[in-house]
Structures are given as structure tokens and as C-alpha cells.
Chain A
Amino acid sequence: MSESIIFPGDRIASVEEYEAGHNTFDDGNDVRATVVGTVEIDKKERIIHVKHSSVISIPKVGDIVIGKVTAVFGTMIAVSIDYINGKPKSSHVECICSTRNLRKKRIALVNDIVCVRIISHLNGAIHATIKEPQFGVLFTKCVKCGRKVIQIRDAVKCTECSWIDERKLSSDFGTNYFVKLSEK
């Protein structure tokens, strides 16, 4: 066990033998570790990974995140991330989510809680999608009176003032994810 423990900067292999995978980098000559962990060698693909227990608070491509809408623009929304794959995170980094091809007037409002999937890290920004059915608004309030709303097909209706408003609702609207967030 102790032989396989490696530390940041430790040489694992030559770049001629293996490619650098997760938690590794190549310095031009050697593949080196970037974190404390254990080596995992994919001999078929000839890639070296380093397994590490703690996960930093930046979502990876494919991660499902839940967060609060911090800004709404014409064709995108900005989301401050609170949960990554169901685990709470305190980093509050933001991702942006394109809403260009969604045929709705209001996708989400500021302070709504939404669920999105990370699709890329591009030009220094984290990009996410809200298009699939399970992604969208998990929790929102009435835009007129700020009271509780209920789902009516693809829209929400205020229980107090009966105002009906559009949102891109998640299939989990008002269910499991919302329960977790409300316990926070």
C-alpha cells in the first residue's frame, strides 16, 4: 500500500509510456501527480490516473448541480452552485446556462432553485444545460405576491393570487431535491 502512495509532483511514469489522466500532468518529460493519492493505471488506454479522496468544489462535465439563479439575461441564466451530485458545496461558483432554444418567456427567475447538468468548461466559464426534462426549476415563488405556487402542466399557479406564470419546470419540481434544499 505504502509503495503506491504518491504526492504532488511525484514522477509516476515517462510521457513515452503513459498519458496523463485525472489528477496528473505531464511536464514534457514525465507524468506527475497533482494530488495526494494512489495510482491507477489503465493499461489498455495507457493512461495514468491518481485516485484522491477529497473532491474540490468545482463541478466536472456531466455533474448534476443544484443552485440558485443569480441573474437572468435574454438568452441565459447564471446559477450559483449549492449542490454537486447531491453533495452540498460552499464554494458558490457560478455556471451559465443557455436558454436560447427553449420556447418559454420565463425560464426561471432570480432566486429560483434550479437543477442543471454541466456540459463544458469553456473560455473560463462553466456551461450547463437545462433542456432535459429532469432539469429546470425545483422551487419558485409567485412573481406577483411572493407566495407558494403549484404546478399546472408546464406552468405554475399561485395559491394565493391565482397568478399563472411560465417556468421551465423540472420533473422533480416540488419533490426530492427541493426537500433536501429546504432542510438546509
Chain B
Amino acid sequence: MGGRDTDLVLLDENGIRCDGRKIDEPRRIMIKAGVLKNADGSAYIEFGDNKILAGVFGPRDVHPKHIADTDTGILRCRYHMSPFSVTERKSPAPSRREIEISKVLKEALQPAVMLEQFPRTVVDVFLEVLQADGGSRCAALDAASVALADAGIPMRDMVSSIAAGKVADTIILDVNNEEDQAGQADMPVGYMPNLEKITLVQLDGILTQDEYKKCLETAIGGCKLVYEIQKKALTDKFFSNGESA
């Protein structure tokens, strides 16, 4: 991060980005809920070229038992990139980055999930990245939130997530892989749209105070767009084909 030298024109004079998007335009997002039969809740997301599956199990008995909390349930999150998710084979063993993202996603989901209703139990969230293209943690968070809602786990709000960033001294919405590699800053944001609370902010890069504020506002605006798509996915799952809640 910080503007690596590249021949790629990240932002042209007309304000068009390297993949043809405008500065405030997210990539194509498609979410489908209830895709895994054996999971209590599941979702599949295509976020640009990211393809991610989310599976939720629980609340269920905790193993090993000594990690059970008598006052509240616990949330476990496993973010994993498939060996074929990137151009060169990735080792299936959990990397430092995957362990970090698992922790970050857990902490981003925790404020939304009402775990206190299920003491001594665990909710497991498995996130499998089938294809990665920059911004996979945000896409994974969106899918996890839909999968949790699909499982019927009580939540204070949905968590919607998208990244904003800085490319060619301009704040942009939804940073893709090229912009992530060669841009000046990348800021993934998780947001609860109804409660208007932020559950995740990370920043890789350097921004001024004004840029930071604008970047956050841009990301929150993007989260609201993602939220509408999440709602549509859940509506299609629960209320299409004559099925009702």
C-alpha cells in the first residue's frame, strides 16, 4: 500500500477506474441464501470476481467443552482460502492472514449476534473463498451476515460491509485487487445500517483527517447499497415460491 509504481492507469482523467467503474460505483454483487443443505444457514456471494461460500452451524454444543461460556454463547469464525482461489496454488493450511481475517470477521459479527440468548453454546461461521479478487473480507462478512440471518440466529442488525480507498489522490468505493495492490489506501468497513453503528474499520495506507472522513462516509454509503442486496437475497429465500416465514 502507499502507491506502488505501476503502468496501470488506476483512474483516468474522466474519473473512470481501471475496470471501467466510476469512483462511487461498487462491483456487481450477487447474494444467494440457503445454498448448503447440511448447514443451519448458508449464503453464496459473488462480489465482483470474489466468490465466497458461507456456512453457519449452531447454536450447538461446544467442543472442546472447556471453552464454553456459562454466561453467553461464543462465536467462532473460520475464513479460509481454497488452494485454487488465487492464480498460484495457496497452501490449504491456515496462513497468518487467514487467522487474522477470521479474528477480524468474528469481532465484526459479534456486536450483531445476540449470543447472550444461548449460554454454553457455539455458533460456527465457516467462510470458504472459492475465488479471490481483493475485498474478500468484506464480501465474506456480507455472506456471513446473510447466512446467520438464514439460520434464524437472533441478530440486532445485519452487518453490511464494503471497502473504500484512495487511488490517484481520489477517494473511491469498493477497492478491487489492482487498486488494493497499487492504490494509496484501503479501508474495509463493516456497518449495521439500522442501528447506524460501525463494527469494523481497518485502514491500510495513509489518509488525512478529511480524507479519512470522506472515505468512511463513502464506505457507509456503499454498505447501505450492499444491505439492499442482502435483504433481496433473504426475501428470495424466505418469501419466494409461496414459502412464508
Contacts and interface: CB of A to CB of B under 8 A. Distances in A.
Contact of A123 (B70, B158, B193, B243): B70
A27 B195 contact: yes
B120 interface: yes
A34 interface: yes
Contact of A58 (B59, B69, B71): B59
Interface residue range, chain A: 35 or more
A38 B245 contact: yes
Contact of B114 (A11, A34, A92): A34
Given A8-B157, A23-B154, A56-B152, A36 B120 contact: no
Contacts of A91: 58-61, 121
Interface residues of B, number: 38
A124 interface: yes
B153 interface: yes
A51 B119 CA distance: 23
B202 interface: no
B34 to A, nearest CB: 9
A37 interface: yes
A124 B244 CA distance: 32
Interface of B: 40-41, 58-61, 69-71, 112, 114, 117-121, 149-158, 192-195, 231, 234-235, 238-239, 243-245
Secondary structure dominating the interface of B: loop
A10 B231 CA distance: 11
B156 A9 contact: yes
Query: Which of B114, B154, B245 is the most central at the interface, judged by chain A CB atoms within 10 Å of its CB?
Result: B245
Contacts of B61: 80, 91-94
Contacts of A37: 238, 245
B153 A93 contact: no
A36 B59 contact: no
